[in-house]
Amino acid sequence: MNKRCLIISGGEECPLPADLGEMDCVIACDKGYLYAGRMGLKPDLIVGDFDSAPMPETAIPVERLPSRKDDTDTMIAARHAAEMGCSEAVILCCFGGRLDHTLANLQTGAWLAERGITVRLIGGDTEAAVFSGGTIRFPRREGWSLSLFALSDRCEGVTIRGTKYDGEGLTLTNAFPLGVSNVWTSEVAEITVSSGILLVMQSLLKEGEHI
Q: By CB under 8 A, name the binding residues for a second copy.
A: 51-52, 68, 70-72, 75, 95, 97-105, 107-108, 110-111, 113-114, 125-126, 145, 147, 149, 151-153, 164-165, 174-178, 180-181, 197, 199, 201, 203-206, 209-211
Identify the burial level of 1 via C-beta atoms within 10 angstroms of its C-beta, where 0-12 means exposed, 13-18 middle and 19 or more buried. exposed
Identify the burial level of 22 via C-beta atoms within 10 angstroms of its C-beta, where 0-12 means exposed, 13-18 middle and 19 or more buried. exposed
Q: Which is nearer to a second copy, 36 or 104 (CB)?
A: 104
Closest CB 52 distance from a second copy, rounded Å: 7
Q: Which is nearer to a second copy, 23 or 93 (CB)?
A: 93
Closest CB 39 distance from a second copy, rounded Å: 23
Q: Which is nearer to a second copy, 28 or 112 (CB)?
A: 112
Closest CB 1 distance from a second copy, rounded Å: 25
Closest CB 144 distance from a second copy, rounded Å: 10
Closest CB 206 distance from a second copy, rounded Å: 7
Q: Which is nearer to a second copy, 1 or 99 (CB)?
A: 99
Q: Which is nearer to a second copy, 1 or 67 (CB)?
A: 67
Closest CB 133 distance from a second copy, rounded Å: 15
Q: Which is nearer to a second copy, 24 or 166 (CB)?
A: 166
Instruction: Please report, to the nearest 10 degrees, the dihedral formed by the alpha carbons of residues 183, 185, 187, 190 taken in order.
Output: -70
